[in-house]
């Protein structure tokens, strides 16, 4: 057995999550399967990559060495593959490129967009790049490493400031709140922000003005929020289930046992979904088609949430952006 790029990705995923269990959830793997892969890597290297402790794992000196090299090698290998595939499909006017890389700021649209792209363009290889940072994704589009990116911005905030990109709005959503199902307010159809003055809060991280907008909305409701944890999706759900925080979320959140999503009265917080591309990029001639497919992906995500679909019927101005 030789050390492969997939092994390096596994090590990085565990280190980033801080736990094998959380890394398995992020990767869509069963925890025993991920643990078995880690053991095989450690046997091959002849030492432990992580130290196990009560709250998770941390790298050993061998792990630190491996992570430092992996974080250099993985982006280089990814860039090499993407550029090679891109070049192999260049120079054929009127045909879609052989490779299309789509970025996303961890929103709900990416999965359905990949589905529509691979259905519409047989043989197209779709690569993905996910980041918490809309600014990072915009920079990758400007550099030619990502063809199209879907990002979110708070309220009426402008798109990422990267010069030279074209942006289109897919739609606007209210921000909802996740509660444990046994929370005293969980039975209400909507929640006034002031009713949550004593709660602790959590949300997934990102750049932009959302944290400031949230604080301002709370101030208008008459309180200062105690805290706003920024963490990954799995940890947000853990915080809700344990009753340690309520979580700001997008309204398409799928119903889960023990957790409910509720709208905030008066929609004091909103989120716009944008898609961006470089007008001179190799995939720019497909912009109208990609925009239509991204809109369909967003429509699909809304349709999978009956609760949000019902809310939209009585709240014009939200959801799909009118042409």
Supply the pLDDT for residue 81: 65
Task: State yes or no: pLDDT of 143 exceeds 70.
Answer: yes
Residue pair 150/298 in contact (Cβ under 8 Å)? The answer is no
pLDDT bracket for residue 114 (50, 70, 90): very high
pLDDT digits over 22-61, tens only? 888 777 677 888 888 898 889 888 899 999 888 889 999 9
Task: State yes or no: pLDDT of 299 exceeds 60.
Answer: yes
Residue pair 248/213 in contact (Cβ under 8 Å)? The answer is no
Task: State yes or no: pLDDT of 10 exceeds 70.
Answer: yes
Supply the pLDDT for residue 88: 55
Residue pair 249/191 in contact (Cβ under 8 Å)? The answer is no
- Residue ranges of domains in the chain, CATH in brackets: 5-72 (1.10.10.10), 89-172+271-320 (3.40.190.10), 176-268 (3.40.190.10)
* SS3 call for 247: strand
pLDDT digits over 238-279, tens only? 999 999 999 999 998 877 888 999 999 999 999 999 999 999
As a whole number of angstroms, the distance between CA 33 and CA 211 comes to 37
As a whole number of angstroms, the distance between CA 197 and CA 164 comes to 42
Give the residues across from 179 on adjacent strands: 260
More confident residue, 20 or 84: 20
> What pTM was estimated for this model as a whole?
0.69
As a whole number of angstroms, the distance between CA 264 and CA 249 comes to 11
C-alpha distance from residue 312 to each of 55, 95, 109, 261, 302 (Å): 41, 38, 18, 15, 9
Both tokens of residue 319?
């959801």
Task: State yes or no: pLDDT of 2 exceeds 80.
Answer: no
User: Sign (positive/negative) of CA torsion 91, 94, 98, 104?
Assistant: positive
Supply the pLDDT for residue 40: 87
Sequential DSSP letters for 41-88: HHHHHTS-SEEEETTEEEE-HHHHHHHHHHHHHHHHHHHHHHHHHHHH
* SS3 call for 228: strand
Task: State yes or no: pLDDT of 65 exceeds 90.
Answer: yes
Please give the backbone phi and psi of residue 282, each rounded to the nearest 5 degrees, phi first. Answer: -60, -25
Task: State yes or no: pLDDT of 165 exceeds 90.
Answer: yes
pLDDT bracket for residue 107 (50, 70, 90): confident
Residue pair 259/181 in contact (Cβ under 8 Å)? The answer is yes
């Amino acid at each position: 057995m030789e050390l492969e790029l997939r092994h390096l990705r596994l090590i990085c995923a565990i280190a980033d999550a801080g736990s094998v269990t959380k890394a398995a959830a992020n990767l869509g793997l069963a925890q025993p399967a991920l643990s078995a892969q880690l053991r095989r890597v450690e046997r091959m290297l002849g030492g432990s990559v992580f130290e196990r402790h009560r709250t998770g794992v941390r790298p050993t000196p061998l792990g630190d060495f491996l992570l430092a090299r992996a974080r250099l090698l993985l982006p280089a290998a990814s860039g090499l593959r993407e550029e090679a595939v891109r070049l192999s499909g260049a120079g054929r006017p009127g045909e879609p490129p052989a490779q299309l890389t789509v970025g996303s700021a961890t929103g709900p649209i990416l999965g359905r967009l990949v589905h529509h792209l691979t259905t519409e363009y047989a043989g197209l290889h779709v690569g993905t790049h996910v980041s918490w940072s809309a600014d990072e994704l915009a920079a990758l589009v400007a550099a030619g490493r990502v063809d199209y990116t879907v990002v979110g911005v708070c309220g009426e905030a402008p798109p990422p400031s990267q010069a030279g990109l074209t942006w289109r709005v897919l739609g606007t959503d209210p921000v909802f709140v996740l509660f444990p199902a046994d929370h005293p307010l969980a039975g209400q159809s909507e929640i006034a922000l002031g009713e949550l003055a004593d709660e602790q809060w959590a949300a997934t991280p990102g750049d932009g003005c959302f944290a400031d907008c949230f604080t301002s909305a709370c101030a208008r409701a008459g309180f200062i929020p105690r805290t706003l944890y920024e963490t990954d999706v799995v940890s947000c759900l853990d915080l809700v289930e344990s009753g340690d925080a309520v979580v700001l979320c997008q309204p398409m959140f799928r119903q889960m046992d023990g957790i409910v999503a509720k709208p905030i009265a008066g929609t004091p917080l909103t989120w716009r979904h944008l898609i961006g591309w470089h007008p001179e990029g190799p995939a720019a001639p497909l912009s109208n088609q990609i925009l239509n497919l991204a809109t369909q992906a967003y429509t699909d995500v809304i349709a999978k949430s009956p609760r949000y679909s019902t809310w939209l019927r009585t709240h014009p101005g939200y959801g799909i952006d009118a042409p």
